[in-house]
Every structure is written in C-alpha cells, then in structure tokens.
Structure 1
Amino acid sequence: MSTMTINGRLAPLPDDPDALLVDVLRGELDLTGTKLVCGSGVCGACTVLVDGAPVASCLMPARSAAGKSVTTVEAIGASALHPVQKAFMAHDALQCGFCTPGFIVEAAAFHDRWRATKGTAEPSREEIGAALSGHLCRCGTYEGIFNAVAAACMGQFDGSEFASPRIEARAKVTGAAKYTVDIRHDGQQEGVILRSQLAHARIAELDLAPARALAGVSAAVSLLGDDRIVRYVGAPIAAVAAKDRRTALAAIAAIRLKSEALPSVIGLDAARKSGAPVVFEKSARKKAGNVSEGTPAPAPWNGNVRGPSAAFSNKAGKARSWIAAAREDENPLLVEATFRTGTQSHACLEPHAAVARFDGDSLTVHVSTQAVFHLMEMIAKRYELSNDKVRVIADHVGGGFGSKASLGTETIAAIDLAREARAPVRIAYDRHEELSVTGYRPAAELKIALLPSEQGGLKALSLTAHADTGAGTNSTMAALARLIYPAEAKALSDFDVVSNLPPGAPFRGPGGPPMAFALEQAIDEAALRMKDDPIALRQRWDPNPNRQRLYDWAAGLDVWRGMKNAAPQTGRYRRGVGVASGYWLYLWQPGVKIEVAVKSGRIIASTSTQDIGQGSRTVIANTVADAFGLEPHEIEVRIGDSNLPEGPGAGGSRSTASVIPPTLLAVQKLKEAIERSATRKPVRGSNAPWREMIAAAPDLSASAVRPEDSKPKSPGVRSPLKDAGFMGLIFGWMMRRFSNIVVGAGVPSSVQVIEVEVDTWLGHVRVLNVHTGIAVGRIAAPALARSQAAGSVIQGLGYALYEARETDPRSGDILSAGMEDYRIPGISDTPGIDVHFDEHGFDHVLGGSVGIGEVATVPTSPALANAIRNATGIRLTEIPIRPDRLIAALKGRAAA
C-alpha cells in the first residue's frame, strides 16, 4: 500500500485511482481545515503544501502524493502560530473564515520564500496579489489580507505579542473551526438529490425501488410537491442516502423517472411576451418562491407578470402627466433612461449543507444557516415536533449573504432521509448546485424619468422596475426609491416577471443596488444638465441628516475637489471620479434574549444567533467586556445553537441592533447580582474591582429581552416608513408579520466616491480608490466593521464589473455553473478602500449601534458608473460593465 507523510506522520493512500487528495484529507484523515469549494483549482480553498510547494488538492490524485510530504493548515500552527497566522488575526484578514486556511497555507509559503530572499523588505501589493491570485474570498477581506501579508513579511509578527480584534480568529486561521460540511457522526450517510433536467414538466412516474435495491443505499425519498410539477432545471425530485457519495450517485442514476415536458419560457424578455407559456396557473401561484425578506403585498397577475405593486407612489398621476408634458415640450432637464442590471449569484464558498440526526424522537440538525433559532421553529412546525425536540446548530457558517435564511431543500432532504435511514445523513451541495438552485439577486429592467423643477427642486420621479425573478415573486426595487429624494410627485411600480428558472433569493440589501444603479445615475445626469455639483445637488434634494453629514465629508475629499478642476481628457487612459448615495432600513428583531452569567469565575454570554462572518461573537464580547472593564478575550460567547435563548437571524443588517441593547440590560442586572453577593463593594464610577468581584462571585446569571427604542431627540430622525406615509406603515407591518422584524427610526446611510481609470482601447476599467462614508451609529467592533464595509464594496464592484449568472435561453440550463465561469472579484481586483464612519444619528438606540452589511454595498455600482461617465462622457446603462459593452458605447459615441 502506498503512503504519504502527512503533517509529519505516515498515512496510507487508497488504491482507488479516482480518489483525490482533498477527499483523503477531509474524509479519511479528518483534516477538515482543507476546504473543498470549486473542485476545479480556481478558488484556492483546498491548498496544501506538497514537498513545500502550494498545490490545489482538489485537482491532485491522491496516488500522486505517494512518497511525498503533505502539509495542511493544521500543521502550520500546530506548535506555534506562524507569523502569517498572527498577522491575519491582528489585521482581521478574515470574515466567515471558510477561505482562510487556503490563504494561510499559500501566504505562509510566500512569506517563507520572501524572508529567505528579501529579509524584512516590504512586498508590494502587486507582488502579494500575484502570489495569492489563485485564491478567492467571497466576503471580500482582501484589504486586510494585503496588510497582513505585508506586515508578516516585514517581521512585525515574529514575536509573540499581538492582539486580535475577532474572538474566533485563532480557530479560523488554524483550520480548527468546524463548519456544517465538516461534521461527521458515526454511521453517517451521504445524501444526494435527483434534480429535473427539464425547465417545465410533470413527473408521471417516479420509482425509487431500483435505488433502494442497490447495496449500500439506506434511504430514498420523493421531494415532489402534490402537483408533481417541476418548474425549472434543477428542481428537486427525489433524494437518496448511501454509505458514500459514489454509491448515492449510482442510486440516483438507477431511479426510474418518466417526465411529461410542458411548455416553458426562460428569462424576463421572453416571459412577458404576449402568449408566452404560463409558469404558474392561478391555483398554483402560492407555490412561487419568495425573492425578498417580507410577505408579498397583494398585486394582480397578467400571465407571467405580477404587479404593479404601486403602494409606494405619491401623486403618481401628477408625476406621469408632468413627465409626459416635459417630454412633449422637449424639456432639456428631463432625464429619461432604461437601465438593466445582471443576475448576481451569492456564490457562498461553504455550500448549502445540512446534517440531520434523530435520537429517538429528538432531532439535531447541523445547518449552514443565517437563522438558527427561526430555522428550528420552521423545522418543528413542518415535522410537527415540539420546539424542545428540535436542535439546530451552526458553530461557523461559511457565508450566506441572504441565501441561507430559510428552510431549504438540503435541510428537508437530510431530515427525510435520516428518518428513513435511521442514521445521520449529510447533504452538501456541489458547486453546480450552489451556483444554479440556491438563489440569486434578480436581474432587472428599470425605466426611470426624473424631472427637476424650474426652481431647482425635484418635481417628479417615475421608476418602473421589472425584475427577472424566475419561479419566485416579491421583488422590491422601485419602491425603495420612495424613501430618498422627496419629490412633489412620485410614480413607483414594481413588477415580478416569472419564468422557468430557479427562484431568486434575498441578496445583501435586496432591491437596493439595482434601484440605486438607476436612480443615482439619473441624479448624476440631472446635475450635469443643471450644471450643478453632483454632491451639492444631492445635499439640496436629500434632507436626511445622516447623509447630510456624509455629503460634507465627501465634498471635502481631495479626489473630489481635484475632479472639479480637472481638464478635459483625451488619449487611451482616462481617469474619472463618481459619487452615489445609499441607504437601508434600520431593522431590529423583537424577542431577542441575551443571558450573561458568571460560571466558575468566568463571564459567559449566550444567545442563539449565528456568526456568518459579520462578527456577532465579537460584538457581544466587546459589549460585555467594555461594561465590566475586561478584555474581550476574557468573555466566553456561546452562539450557534437553538437551545440557547432566542437570538436574531443574520439578515437585513439586524444582528447588531438586536443583540447589543439586551446585552447591556443583562449586564446591568448581572452587575447588581454580583454586588449583592460581594463583600467588597465597587467604587462608584470605576470598573476596576469587577475582575476581582467576578472571580470571587458564586455562579450567577441574568437575562434581558430586546427593549423598544427610546424616541429620537434629534430633529429629522424619523422612521423611514413614517416618511413613506400610510403604505409605508403597511409595508412595515408586512415585514414584522413575516420575519418578526421592527423597522426603527433613523436611516442607515452611505455615500461613496470612486476613482477609476478607463482603458478606452480595450474597454478595461481599473478601480483605483474607493472612499466609503457610512453612518450607522456607534461602531461596536471597529476592525470588523471596517472589514465588512470593505467587503461590501468588493461585492458591489463585482456586481458592477464582473458578475453575471448566465443561462441557456432555450433550455434553462445554467451556463455559469463553476467558479471558473462565474467571475467574482479576486485579490488583484481590489482597489485602495478608505472607510469613514460617522457615529452619530442613533442615540435613541440603547448602545447606539445599527447594522452595516446592506447599506455599504447599495451605492457602489452607480458610483462606479458615474466615475466612468466622468472619465469618458459615456453613460453606461447595463451591468456588468463588460469591456465589449464599454467599447461599443465608445464607438457609438464616436460615430454620433
């Protein structure tokens, strides 16, 4: 039998010629720090060292490691942390952490080569980017990675002294953090889902007996609905569980299936044509997926088009008539355009996965989820179990971005199979499934008309959005324009265009980026026509106090002041600067409960939320530590388990605003309990005695539920829904009804200024610098907040320049089903990112903090497009802004 040396020890290699090194490491040796993501050598998550050289273990046959020395991330920090690991921790060069082990392995190898040849010289961004170009981070932590690798190479982390701002950072940089895909129970079976190859069909026959008859198969279940109709390629039909994935795939192939093809229609343009095949008959419309976070408002259907949802208009008739009159009069100030946005996939690096296990009548499910507690409730309801019989666990989650907030097919199938197999069952999607059936930000067509008044105000705004929602509904794009730039009249309409594609899903600020791409470019164009400064015009039209402060900040940037005085440009390379505004709702979740306890002289804080990279553990630890005058690492934070007190979901930027207020109240209660039990009383106004008092205290606990906010005292701070009028309140009620979410007073806001360089020959856009100003109140974890803000910008740049989910318009097959085909930003695409936090505006919130993740990405795509307009004179109306589209626009302008 062949062997390899793995982390200094001999290990056997399988005789199977098809076995890959990554499978041996993860499946047979339980070295789960090596992650499997793309399976094609594109993402770098599976990187290991083979005889000292970085190798993608997902491409290396296991037998090729015979006689070689293999080193995984677990060995790099086994005896003492490597300088790169310490630097990653100190610079917060990680978020969800799923990609981190691969980066660590490659960066450590680069560091060691660099130090051997260059000493402590500083490597350039270009040198670091070239070394790590084979690695991807969907959270967008590249700026921190640049800083960490440079600092480590310069010798700044050769010693033992360093501090980490993120509580769980050590587990992530050493590969010790366990994600759902890493869970292994004794006797665990592997599940696989049979999916439809047709875009629309009725399943006439489904015979699972041949699958059950295969040796090694433990269960087979149907996943069909009662109408037995599938409405997109990839729709689930059945699932099997077997001793290993190879056997499960053979079982899937053995299932006898007969399908009756039905007429199908693919995509926005085809689905709204007259006479197009109907995806959902009237009786089946409730089967449509939900692409947003709230309950769908009532709206009419016309074939495959649902809408309009015109609840957020204001004097819509006047808006349309004024715009029509301006069009007839050829008013030069009237801005009209049609914008198109592409489909953006979440592309989480940890796939959707679930491991289900029954112990008698109790069910435990490990799930890669954004909603531990809510998912427990949904599972209990579906399977008619009491809440105390269901436990959902998510110790670490490898990204979500909105796609992991519901009860998904992977979880349902794992539970059904585990019940039939009487054994634990894991289902983990492969990359094709992850990029095809787990949701996406819907593409859209947005028609906008904006009319300034003769006095320089905003007279009328019309925005009509048609969203390409697939087999889902409830897009909200145009409606979001109700809550910014007050006008005398607004006509806002949202339409869902349903087709035989997988349904979309909420994605970081659902509806916000496409809305802003149209609206913020229209504002920019209005400023040009009015010969006004784009920031000054926004300040005049936008009364929000949070953004007013950010406009002052943006106007003072050197890059903005330089842009205003720049001479007209000619030549191949041209630079431009653009600005855009963004906002999101301030959301918080009632019922959230935090327990803070003293146990054996240590403070423990507990709640059943989850950390998907945004830093929930650290936010809670910082809040408790600050109150007691301790260090965050002295606080033990327990999350990721539905058996803990009710916690918030990680969606809608509500986590921070939901956990800090009850944490502060629980801390105050615990302080009082400690004082009552203490013989030595604390000095008033001093935290100095708390460490000693905690060490001497008996076991105590205190808990608190998230309270209502106080009323804002600052002028102009109102709930955005109050600004939206009566229908805004209805919208708020719908959100609360669906997600148990409250829309609070105040508007999280952002303003971004982006500088680009455009190659007018090749159509290439290089983003040079991004300045992002964010007003979300007090920053609870500054380093993590900066990482999240920068990552939001990176995702926004991907949306604007690279990302496009492509499907075959005839068959509905996904064409961008691998990471080599679906392009997300890499480390070398990262510009310099300056993050400015304005910490005012939320004093009425206990703790003063609200969420960051959504608001920070909303204005990126229009700011980039406005910068390209400034550089070239070309207004790009479709994203992604591919080179061919830019070249075509430049040629069209030259011909005109």
Structure 2
Amino acid sequence: MVGEGLKEVTRRVPEDEPPPLPENAKLKSIGKPVSRLDGVEKVTGRARYTFDVQLPGMLWGKWIVSPLPHARIKSIDTSAVERAPGVRAVHVLERMLSAAQLRDPKAEKNNRYLTVRYAGQPIAAIAADTPRAAEAAAKLLKVEYEPLPHVTGIEEAMRENAPLVFPGPTEQPATAGGGGAPPGLPQKGNVRGPDTKPRGVGPRGDVAQGFRESDVVVEAEYRTQVQTHVPMETHGIVADWRDEGLTLYASTQYIGSIRDEAAEYFDLPKNKIRVISEFTGGGFGAKYGIGNFGLLAIHLSRKARAPVRMMLDRRDEHISGGNRPNSIQRLKLGARRDGTLVALQVQAYGSGGVAGGAGVGFAHSTLYSCPNVHVEQYDVFTNTGPCAAFRAPGQAQGMFALEQAMDELAEKLAMDPLALRAKLDVSGTDDSLARAHERRVGAERFGWNKRRPAGTDKGPIKRGIGVSQSQWLYLVHRNTACEVRVMGDGSVEAFSGAQDIGTGTRTILAQVVAEEFGLRAEEIGSHIGDSHYPAGPPSGGSRVSSSLTPAARNAAWRCARDLASRLAPVLDANAEDIVFAGGKVMVKGKNSLALPFREAVKKARIQEISHRAERRDDYEGYAAAGAEVNISRHGIGGVQFAEVEVDTETGIVKVVRVVAVHDCGRPINPKLTESQIFGGVIQGVSYALYEERHLDAASGHQLNTNVDQYKIVGSREVPNIQVILLEQLGAQSSTDARGIAEPANVATAAAVANAFYNATGKRIRTLPMTPANVLAALRA
C-alpha cells in the first residue's frame, strides 16, 4: 500500500521494458480522474451499438423457440415459412451451444433434430425484409413435438425418480468467459459431481478430526436464487457474409472468441473474419461466445447473401441469455475458543439449468487460514435455460454463506467480527494485506465502533450494520497486445482489439499512452473493438486493466524512445536526454529548447513510427499458467460495510448506506474505478433484495421475462455509497494495474445479510430478501 508497509523488492525486468512508475501522485495522466473519452458520443446518441447497426440491404432475423420444456422433435416443416411474403432465408438449428453435451451421444435415441431441454430453446430462425414480415412468418413454422417428462426445481431434480434432463453423463468445457464444469466427474441422474477442487484447490487435512477438536461449531444451510443478467443491450449480432469474407458486428465481451468460434463452426480461416464491437451495452459474463443466435444469423446471411440482424428480445434474453445459478449450501465451521479455525466443510448443490458450472466459488478453501477443509460442489440439471459466467461466478453465492457463518462464529466466541477476520485472514498475499488495511480504514469511516447488540432497536423499524470481506482473482490474459503509432503531424494513436462494455477501456488506454508522451489523454487516438487490431483481452473476470495497460505502456515507451532517437539530431542532443512532458519536447538542462510536441515531431520529418508490444508475464510469475489465462499468486481484496433498515411489519428491507473499501493495484483512473465499484454495489444490492427468476413448474415457462415483474434495483432504492480506493503497488508489471469489476459485487449480499441480523437478531439464510422471505426469517 502506498504510504503503508512499503518495502523494497527485487524483480527481474526485461531490458526492453520501461522503468517502474512512481506512485500516482507524481504522474500526470495515469491515476487522474479523466472523464470518459466517449462520454459525449454516448449521451448524444452518436455511439453506435450493435443494436444501432444498419447495413444496406440488411434483413431482420427472428428465431423460433420451443414452447415445451422437454420434448423430442418428430418433424419440422418450413415450406409455409419459405413461401411467406418477405422471407429470404430459413434455417433449422443443428447444434446447441451454451448447454452441456452428452459424454456418449449414443445414450440418446438418434434423431435428426436437437432434443428440446427447456422452454424457450431455439429451434430455427427466419430472415425477412422487415421485422413484421419475420414475426408473421415465424408463426407459420410447423413443428411436431413428442413431449417428455420435465423437472424445473433443484430439489425435485435431485430426487431419485426425477425425470432425466440428460439420459447419460455429460461434459461441458469452459469457454472464454469461464463457466463449464470439470471433466470426468461422476453423474447420477441429474446430479453431477462432486467437484472437490474448486479453482484447483483440493481438500486438506481431516475435517472429521478437526470438528472433534473444535470447542465451537457453527452449522447452517443457505440458499440463493437464480439471477438473470438483464444487460441494457440484449445479446445480438449483425452477420454479413460476402465472397471476400465474413463481418460480424457483435454486442460482446470478447471479439476474439466470436471470431474463433465463427472460424471453427463455419470452417473459415480467421483472416477472413472481422469482428467489430464499437460499443457494447453491458455484459456481466454471458456475452463471450457466438451463441445460438449468432450461429443462426451467420447461416441466414450465407443463405440469403445479405446482412442479417439478430437481436434477442427481452423475453429471450431472460430465458437464453444466461443466468447466475441458484444454490443450496450446507456449511459447517469448527473453531477453538481463541478463534482459531480448525475445520471447514461445505456441501453445495446448484442448478445452471441445462448447463454445468453451478459452483459456489473458491473462498471456502482460500480466504481464511484453516488446516482441515473439505468442499463438495454438485451440478443439478433442470429443464431450464443455461447458466453463464456472471460477475464473480460462484463467489457471490459462496460468500453470502461463508461471511454469515463467520459472523455467527464470532458471536458464539464473543468476538468482534472484524477481530475474528483479522485473526484468520493471514495468508500474506497482496489481497490479504490490503484487507487488513481496508478493515481498519472502513471501520473508522463507517463508524463500526457504534455497532450495537443485535436486535437492540425498539419498534417495528430496526436498523443494523454489517460487514463482509471480498476476494477475487488477479488474472492476466496472455494473448494481449497493443500497437502505438506516432504520425508525421505529431498525432499519436493506440490500437487494441479489446472491447469496451461500459467500463472505460478507451479512456484508460489513452491515459497510459499519454503518460509516456507527456500529452493529455484527450490528445491520444484510442482505437478498440476491432479484430483487425492487435489482440485484446476479454472484458470479464477483472482482467482488462491488468492485461492491456502493461502492453500499452510498453508499446508507448518504445515508441517514445524511438521518437527521441529521431529527434536527437534535430535538437542536437542525446536521445536519453530528451523528455516528453506537459505537451512539449524538452532536453534535460536546456529549458530554452522546449518545443510543442507536434512542432517537434514535424521537425523530425518522419512519416510514421509504430511499435507493438505484447503482455509479458508478471515479474514475480504466476500461481497457475494456462493457455490463455494466468492466475497470480496474489489477488484482489475488498471490505464492505452496510447499514440496513428493516420494517418488521411489512418485511421490507432497505439498504441505507454502504462503505466500500477496495484495492486494484494501481488505479489507472480513479473516477472510472469508483464507477465500477458503484456498479458492483448496486448490482449486489439488487441480487440481495430483489432479483429472482420465477418459473411455472407445470409448463416450464419463466413468468417474469421482462424488466417490470423481474424486479431490479431502482434509483430510489440505491443506497448512499462511499468508495475508498487504495493504491497498491506490487511490482508485478510495468503498470501494476489490476481489475475491479468483481469484488464489489462479491461482498454486498453478505454484508447486507449480516446487517439484517444486527438489526433484527434473526438470521436470513435465503436470497432474495423479499418480504415473504424476511417475514419467514423473523418468525423462525
């Protein structure tokens, strides 16, 4: 932490990388609250999202979905659709993405059509001249179904005689956005698992012996709900198949995976595919792959020989766009009287519908010091839409249970919850050290010393405060590069295939490059969102800043040094004495030679200088290195305090105030970083209090496929949020930046739940905290 715990460390730095940066206070562009460079475009409507793309001759795509939750398709007749006015192409889907696949396809009766496994599953799609023509033609598709037994509830699906979602064991590899399920796990009925090594961390010690040695044991069951993604812009793509190649305009979190999947599924060379994502209207983990809608759009474009626009409507988005799985977690803690944690055991079941990957994160095995840990995580398949990665997949569910259990343990030990965490959160990693500081700073700013015993308030309206810690991975995407150019007129541009999902990637890219040239971020041309640019990282997992900014700085530094060498004879100076600062080119010790940057570059008579740099490995190496993603030995911390107000007569809970104390290495732009934390807190409050998918068990249909009955937090329900941001320099890369998207979401629901207990003296172990669940908890 800058100003606390400073120490000297030795790192091996490649010779062609720039020297370490000082703390942000000594920098001119990095670390400054620069406003979004594309802000004016967005507020004036000039920003072109995928939804806005209009191409000459563009057709309108409409997909047709199954009304049944489980069925075998006997026949599909497209003849009436093909004759319908305005219809230019029809395609029946022959492969299903986003869902688990049978390990042995022969386990299912052979059929030319896909088996329907959830209501709303896409069957076919139409491309027509107008949206109205597509809608009308969709009603003409004749599909003959053979209904099969279905199951939509997690507990019902776990029963021995439950209808089978899949007739045999399944597999689901991870995608670019995470998710998937570990290979080779046993599967009995609809239950697959256990996975005993979340994030590769296996069991340790002997939990049975640990519980025998424990003086205090806490044991409880926690439940969380299915949460759908609800981005402002739904999933969508515009596919334009031409003889010279395929162009895709996509609302995506990773143009790289869109290109790679299109190349694989359509047997095209990657250089024949261009993916463009100028702006994306939100993405929380589900907008990585090409999706079934993307496959259909490309097929239709190829058949019709015209561009095809395929955007999901809000109903389709809720059902097929991905969701956060629900969970049933049975958690048990054992400790000695002094607070030493002796044993931790978790058995968790979660349903991602027809997809795997419904775990509850890795915090149980990694956050607190404990010698005996055993975690079992199971997938339970149901005839419902597939889950997808969702802003700290699993970790938000797991932390809701773990951090409540820690508070309950503290109470049984008569310890302050912060004191217990300080005793147990001692791994020595960057995130652990950060949380120690965050607990102190946050407690002081929040007024933790004013916390009263649980249920102290008299009357029906009760107030309470609570705390939760956060933990997430420090990830680096290996295949990340950036190109920086200086043109003969003195303009500077940066290029990266990264995409901006609303977090400000354009702006931080410009800030990092501007720092090396002594310019303002507004003077840098920041170009992203095009697969023709150097490969960028996915926008997810809190990895963009950590992956992109070191590559950008390295490219800019090389470009600046190259420019200095070309300016040296013009200025009659040594290249190493040339400095770029304050919009000028100067020579050390010769202040009179200062020239405006553009004027100096023109004097050098260059056409263009260009340098490209790739993201190098962290100087300290990694805990785990994968083909695409590296996991640091360190992590990202965070501590959040919440104050709630509970109306014990109506069951309404209001989050009044949140103090969020977080670290992300070096904040490149504090304003944008705080915005990310605000968003995480707001989404966490929405998850804690409101959001929940409701299904009709008889039909398998979701009942609230809209943004009215699917309640999300509104402006009047957003608490007062105070962000405290720490600058932490770990000497890991040339910028020391890390991401921040996940941690604020991870801690929120647990902090609210602990505050609920402090207000009422009753534990609420079921999300969301709706009036019905609250009143049930108060009666318990």
Q: The TM-score by the shorter chain falls in which range?
A: 0.7 to 0.9
Q: CA–CA distance in 2 between the matches of 1:446 and 1:694?
A: 63
Counterparts of 1:494 and 1:233, CA distance in 2: 26
1: CA distance, partners of 2:231 / 2:130: 24
User: Match of 2:359?
Assistant: 476
Answer yes or no: is 1:197 the counterpart of 2:83: no
- Which of 300, 304, 307 is equivalent to 2:190? 304
**How far did residue 567 of structure 1 move?**
9.4
1:426 aligns with 2:320: no
Could you say which residue in structure 2 is the equivalent of 1:448? 331
1:584 aligns with 2:467: no
Mapping of 1:210-221 within 5 angstroms?
Answer: 210-221=80-91
3-state SS, counterpart of residue 136 of structure 2:
helix
Is the contact made by 1:289 and 1:472 (CA closer than 8 Å) also made in structure 2? Answer: no
Task: Call closer, same or farther: CA 1:567–1:591 in 2, change over 3 Å.
Answer: closer
For 1:320 and 1:435, the matched residues in 2 are separated by: 43
Residue 176 of structure 1, aligned match among 32, 46, 54: 46
- Aligned match for 1:786, one of 671, 674, 684: 674
Contact 2:642–2:755 under 8 Å retained in 1: yes
Q: Counterpart amino acid of 1:687?
A: A
Give the partner amino acid of 1:273.
R
Q: TM-score, normalized by length of structure 1? A: 0.76
CA distance in 2, matches of 1:885, 1:408: 35
Find the counterpart in structure 2 of residue 687 from structure 1. Answer: 581
Residue 550 of structure 1 and its aligned partner are, at CA, apart by: 1.2
Q: Relative to structure 1, is the Cα distance of residues 457 and 204 closer, same or farther in structure 2, using a 3 angstrom cutoff? A: same
Q: 8 Å contact 2:484–2:552 — kept in the other structure?
A: yes
Matched, 1:764 2:652: yes
Q: Deviations over 1:258-279 (max 9, x none)?
A: 1111121112111110111111
Which residue identity lines up with residue 837 of structure 1 in the other structure?
A: L
C-alpha deviation, 1:559, in angstroms: 2.0
Q: Distance in 1 between matches of 2:369 and 2:41?
A: 48
Q: Is the 2:172–2:355 contact (alpha carbons within 8 Å) kept by the matching residues of 1?
A: no
| Seq. identity, % | 35
What amino acid sits opposite 2:190 in the alignment? N
Counterpart selection for 1:677 from 552, 559, 566:
566
Alignment CA distance shift 1:243-1:347 (3 Å): same
Please report how far the alpha carbon of residue 455 of structure 1 lies from its aligned counterpart in structure 2 after TM superposition.
3.8
CA offsets, 1:698-754, max 9 Å, x none? 211111000111128xxxxxx6xx5xxxxxxxxx46xx34xx111123110110001
Q: 1:800 to 1:613 in 2, by over 3 A?
A: same
Shift of 1:807: 1.1
TM alignment of 1:517-666, pairs within 5 A: 517-543=400-426, 544-564=432-452, 568-599=456-487, 600-666=489-555
Output the CA distance in 2 between the equivalents of 1:508 and 1:287: 19
Cα deviation for residue 471 of structure 1 reads 0.2
1:691-710 aligned at under 5 Å gives the runs 691-692=597-598, 693-694=600-601, 696-697=603-604, 698=606, 699-710=608-619
Q: Give the secondary-structure state (helix, strand or coil) at the position aligned to 1:859.
A: helix
CA apart distance, 1:575: 1.2
Relative to structure 1, the CA distance from residue 610 to residue 694 in structure 2 (aligned partners, 3 Å threshold; closer, same or farther) is: farther
CA distance in 2, matches of 1:705, 1:217: 47
Structure 1: distance between partners of 2:113 and 2:170? 9
Q: 1:293 maps to what in 2?
A: 179
Contact 1:308 1:495 in 2 (8 A): yes
Structure 2 residue 266 is the aligned partner of structure 1 residue 266 = no
Give the drift of 1:839.
Answer: 1.2
Q: How far has the Cα of 1:676 moved from its partner?
A: 2.2
Q: In structure 2, how many angstroms separate the alpha carbons of the residues matched to 1:742 and 1:763?
A: 45
Task: Indicate the SS of the match to 1:241.
Answer: strand
Structure-1 residue corresponding to 2:229? 346
Which structure 2 segments of 5+ residues have no match? 1-32, 96-111, 427-431, 586-596
Q: What is the aligned residue count?
A: 704
**Deviates further, 756-765 or 679-688:** 679-688
The amino acid that maps onto 2:745 is T
SS at match of 2:735: coil
Per the alignment, do residues 286 and 776 of structure 1 end up closer, same or farther by CA in structure 2, a change over 3 Å counting? closer
- Tell me if structure 1 keeps the 8 A contact 2:176–2:289: no
Give the Cα separation in 1 of the matches to 2:212 and 2:381: 30
1:795 is paired with a residue of what secondary structure? helix
Cα distance in structure 2, aligned partners of 1:565 and 1:302: 46
**Normalised TM-score (structure 2):** 0.87
Cα offsets for 1:657-696 (capped at 9, x unmatched) = 1111111110111012211221125755652434243454
- Displacement, 1:478? 5.0
Of the three residues 187, 191, 194, the one matched with 2:57 is 187
Q: Secondary structure at the match of 1:874?
A: coil
Indicate yes or no: 2:763 matched with 1:875. yes
8 Å contact 1:775–1:841 — kept in the other structure? no
Runs of 4+ in 1 over 6 A off after TM superposition: 287-291
**Deviation string for 1:558-586 (max 9, x for gaps)?**
42121158993211222111000011000
In structure 2, give the amino acid aligned to 1:338. Answer: E
Match of 2:14 in 1: none
Q: CA deviation at 1:320?
A: 3.4
8 Å Cα contact 1:292/1:476 also seen in 2: no
Q: Which runs of 5+ in 1 are unaligned?
A: 1-162, 713-718, 723-731
Cα distance in structure 2, aligned partners of 1:164 and 1:582: 27
Moved more, 680-689 or 881-890: 680-689
User: Closer, same or farther in 2 for the Cα pair 1:446/1:611, shift >3 Å?
Assistant: same
CA drift at 1:841: 4.9
Shift of 1:289: 9.5
Greater Cα offset, 842-851 or 520-529: 842-851
- For 2:299 and 2:187, the matched residues in 1 are separated by 35
Match of 1:39 in 2: none
In the other structure, the counterpart of 1:24 is none
- Aligned match for 1:711, one of 602, 615, 620: 620
Shift of 1:318: 1.9
* 1:81 aligned partner: none
Q: Deviations over 1:385-424 (max 9, x none)?
A: 1111000111000001111011211211110000001111
Matched-pair contact (CA < 8 Å) for 1:746–1:842: no
In structure 2, C-alpha distance between the alignment counterparts of 1:710 and 1:784, rounded to whole Å: 26
Contact 1:586 1:851 in 2 (8 A): yes
RMSD of aligned residue pairs (Cα, Å): 2.1
Q: Distance in 2 between matches of 1:759 and 1:291?
A: 40
| 1:291 to 1:785, Cα distance in 2 relative to 1, 3 A | closer
The 2-side partners of 1:487 and 1:597 are apart by 52
1:584·1:747 contact (CA, 8 Å) conserved in 2?
A: yes
User: Post-superposition shift, 1:290?
Assistant: 10
1:29-77, CA deviations, whole angstroms, 9 ceiling, x for partnerless residues? xxxxxxxxxxxxxxxxxxxxxxxxxxxxxxxxxxxxxxxxxxxxxxxxx
Q: Which segment drifts farther, 522-531 or 565-574?
A: 565-574
2:429 — aligned with what? none
Q: Which amino acid aligns with 1:652?
A: G
CA distance in structure 2 between the aligned counterparts of 1:387 and 1:279, rounded to whole angstroms: 36
> For the Cα contact (< 8 Å) 2:180–2:356, is it kept in 1?
no
Q: Is the 8 A contact 2:446 2:641 kept in 1?
A: no
Of the structure 1 ranges 293-302 and 178-187, higher mean CA displacement relative to structure 2 is found in: 293-302
Paired residue type of 2:722? D
Distance 2:258 2:433 in 1: 37
**2:421 partner amino acid:** R
